């Protein structure tokens, strides 16, 4: 009988702790994904585009704040900050890729113009 009450009590505590911590727990995958996207934006050349660089900085700032919130035990705030970091990192990555593609298109257009000026040979 005592064993059954102990098991029930332990199960109740586990359920309460899970319910209480479940909503504020920070998924490690979300943190890793936001960091990975920020790193990808940097590697894609975000620093060469002012707008992409700004959003990369905002993403890195939000990541740092999220990590501080985790350390402070504020999982809900950390989740919000991670969502913001992910959005800023995604935008930075898109802007960096767009700037690279625009530069490549301009280079290709310049080559075509140069060939057109040379005329047929």
Q: How confident is the model at residue 25 (pLDDT cuts 50, 70, 90)?
A: confident
The residue with tokens 């301009």 is: 106
Q: How confident is the model at residue 14 (pLDDT cuts 50, 70, 90)?
A: very low
Q: How confident is the model at residue 105 (pLDDT cuts 50, 70, 90)?
A: very high
CB 33 within 8 A of CB 86: yes
Residues 97, 98, 100, 105: what is their CA dihedral angle, to the nearest 10 degrees? 140
For 2, 19, 27, 67, the CA distances from 12, given in Å and listed in that order, are 15, 11, 24, 31
Question: Domain coordinates of the chain in residue numbers?
Answer: 32-107
d(CA 67, CA 70): 5
What is the structure's pLDDT at 85? 98
Model pTM score = 0.71
CA atoms within 13 A on the CB side of 54: 4
For 43, 93, 103, 110, the CA distances from 117, given in Å and listed in that order, are 36, 36, 21, 11
């Amino acid at each position: 009988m005592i064993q059954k009450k102990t098991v029930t009590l332990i199960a109740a505590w586990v359920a309460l702790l899970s319910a209480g911590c479940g909503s504020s727990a920070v998924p490690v995958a979300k943190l890793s994904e936001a960091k990975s996207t920020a790193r990808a934006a940097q590697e894609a050349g975000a620093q060469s585009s002012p707008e992409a660089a700004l959003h990369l900085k905002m993403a890195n700032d939000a990541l740092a704040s999220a990590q501080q919130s985790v350390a402070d035990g504020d999982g809900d705030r950390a989740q919000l900050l991670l969502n913001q970091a992910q959005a800023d990192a995604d935008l930075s990555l898109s802007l960096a890729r767009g700037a690279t593609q625009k530069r490549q298109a301009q280079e290709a257009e310049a080559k075509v113009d140069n060939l057109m000026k040379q005329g047929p040979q």
